[in-house]
Structure 1
Amino acid sequence: MSHNTSSPASSAPAAPGSSGASAGPDAPSVRKTMSKRKRSQISRWIQYAILIVVAAFVVIQADWATLAETFLNLEVAAGMFPEVITVALKNTILFTLLGFALGLVLAIVLALMRLSSVGPYRWLAIIYIEFFRGLPALVVFLVMGFGLPVAFPGLGLNKLVVIMVALGLVASAYMAETIRAGIQAVPQGQVEAARSLGMSSSRAMVTVVLPQAFRIILPPLTNELILLTKDSSLAYILGSSVAGRELAALARAEIVNTASLTPFIVIALCYLAITIPLSYLSRLLEKKFGSVGRPA
């Protein structure tokens, strides 16, 4: 006769507090995890705390009296007026606009050459663009200001012309790629429709493609104007008369005369007075027309 060896106790359920197979994988977890939003809030507050500590350290450790005397000398700043506006700021704007106008004309020609089916045109455009995009603007100014008079002593180039050409060469290499991208962004159907109406390739490019391309590239062209405004400060290395000084040249002269760095603050505010409205205009144009972006 067989005997059942199992006892009633062995089949009884385990006690609530006992460990074992009763706490299986399907049992609900009692541990609550922190939500993603809560972790983000804690991370943000830690960042704020770090910023406050850094700011407090700067405020406590900085020598504010020396800083004010060196960079915020109101007498030195007042002595720069009205020349900083009537001469330096005016010349900076003039140099920038002349360089931008020349660069834009060159850039249109280079962009069309870059897209040409004629091989030598494409090669020349690529060489020009890569050459001037690879050179620092300072080198271009030095070559234009001191190299050309030595190579061509009979030209007698005016200082304004040298600055305009130097800025135009630098700007045209970047703007050419921007214009090329804008032309390629115009749908091909626009060109085909113009050709079907009997337009020549050149007329279709001028009357149909370029106007649409410029609507696309207005924001990056505005950014290029901002960059060119800052590049115009390199004109000081060429030297100039008092009437021909731009902002950087005037600041350099005032620093030598006053032994104060306050002129740097004054011209920085002047540059911001030009670039901040242009940056705002660029954002408005980008919202309205879009942007192809500045080529790297």
Structure 2
Amino acid sequence: MTRTQRQRAVRLALYALFVLLAVVFVLVADWEAISTSFFVPEGFTETWQDFVLIGARNTILYTVIAFAGGFVLALVLVLMKLAPVAPFRWVATAYIELFRGLPALVVILFMALGVPIAFDGWRPPGGTIGAGLVGLMLVAGAYMAETIRAGIEAVPKGQTEAARSLGMNGGWTMATVVMPQALRIVIPPLTNELVILIKDTSLLFVVGMAANERELTTLARDFMASGPSAGTATSLIFVSVLYLAITLPLTRVVAWLERRQRRSR
């Protein structure tokens, strides 16, 4: 048997094993129990408006706010890390290493609970939700700062040298020549960060929120406790489908952008 024939035989065996496992699952699974636990029709028909108009809307809104704030913070951190003044570089490096090393949940709890305790009840604008979003911004800013820094370093040095030979100063060169090229390079990883933030908004449930402030995960948890599908996981199935409907198109965009960049190089 040749090598090609052996590889074909292995593939056929793996396909046969997959089909066998699928048949066994279909025959053994308790479909009635699965249906009553995960697919209660009322859990979809009577709650979809809340999930779409409140949960999905707030999830997208919180993501946009956290991403925008984190992006601005990341730009500041990058400029500090590239500054000629050493203390600025030290502060930026310490910040990035700190918030990349902390779980987002810990930072959210610190901003929502720890800061009010330390500063006599003071919270950022927006109450507990605002505090949670600030926590997401702090973490996202640290990750995006490293992504943007890598993009800046990927810009050919000749671009900077050509701009300086034309009489541009360092700040103007960075703003008009280096940064635009760097941002084009880092669009795919920044889009990945956006996808991560969409999922990280689910951590905001720990801070507590009003009924009209709930995002998808909090809404699903509440409907598991009460509502037409209480006591089942139907709401979790529904919220999972909505998360996938939001994130899968973005991941496809990332893949397309990466292929386009590879072709351009």
Same fold (TM over 0.5): yes
Instruction: State which of 120, 127, 147 in structure 2 corresponds to 1:153.
Output: 120
Give deviations 1:95-146, integer Å, cap 9, x for gaps.
0000000110111111222223322222212211111111111111111111
Residue 185 of structure 2 corresponds to residue 213 of structure 1:
no
Q: Which has the higher helix share?
A: 2
The 5 Å alignment of 1:79-158 reads 79-157=46-124, 158=127
Give deviations 1:226-270, integer Å, cap 9, x for gaps.
001000000111111101100011001000011111000111111
Instruction: State which of 13, 22, 31 in structure 2 corresponds to 1:46.
Output: 13
Q: Unmatched 5+ residue regions in structure 2?
A: none
Partner of 2:239: 267
Cα distance, 1:154 vs structure 2 = 4.8
Q: Unmatched 5+ residue regions in structure 1?
A: 1-33, 292-296
Partner of 2:160: 191
Give deviations 1:213-233, integer Å, cap 9, x for gaps.
011000010011000100000
Taking the aligned partners of 2:84 and 2:123, their CA distance within structure 1 comes to 38
SS of the aligned residue for 2:84 comes to coil
SS of the aligned residue for 2:120 comes to coil
CA change 1:241–1:144 in 2 (3 A) is same
Partner of 1:74: 41
The 5 Å alignment of 1:226-241 reads 226-241=195-210
Give the aligned residue type for 1:113: M
Partner of 1:6: none
Partner of 2:144: 175
Give deviations 1:36-88, integer Å, cap 9, x for gaps.
11111011111112212222222222111111111111112222121111111
Give the aligned residue type for 2:103: P
Taking the aligned partners of 2:248 and 2:85, their CA distance within structure 1 comes to 42
Taking the aligned partners of 2:147 and 2:97, their CA distance within structure 1 comes to 14
Cα distance, 1:155 vs structure 2 = 2.5
Taking the aligned partners of 2:95 and 2:172, their CA distance within structure 1 comes to 26
| Aligned 8 A contact 1:95 1:164 in 2 | yes
SS of the aligned residue for 1:82 comes to helix
Partner of 2:219: 250
Give the aligned residue type for 1:267: V
Question: Which ranges of 4 or more aligned residues in structure 1 deviate by more than 4 Å?
Answer: none
Taking the aligned partners of 2:224 and 2:121, their CA distance within structure 1 comes to 36
SS of the aligned residue for 2:48 comes to coil
Give deviations 1:20-49, integer Å, cap 9, x for gaps.
xxxxxxxxxxxxxx2211111011111112
Partner of 2:250: 278
Identity percentage of aligned residues: 47
Superposed CA RMSD in Å reads 1.4
Name which of structure 1's ranges 114-123 and 263-272 shifts more when overlaid on structure 2.
114-123
How many residues end up aligned between the 2 structures?
A: 258
Cα distance, 1:167 vs structure 2 = 1.2
| Aligned 8 A contact 2:108 2:134 in 1 | no
| Aligned 8 A contact 1:96 1:232 in 2 | yes
Taking the aligned partners of 2:22 and 2:152, their CA distance within structure 1 comes to 48
TM-score normalised by the chain length of structure 2: 0.93
| Aligned 8 A contact 1:95 1:163 in 2 | no
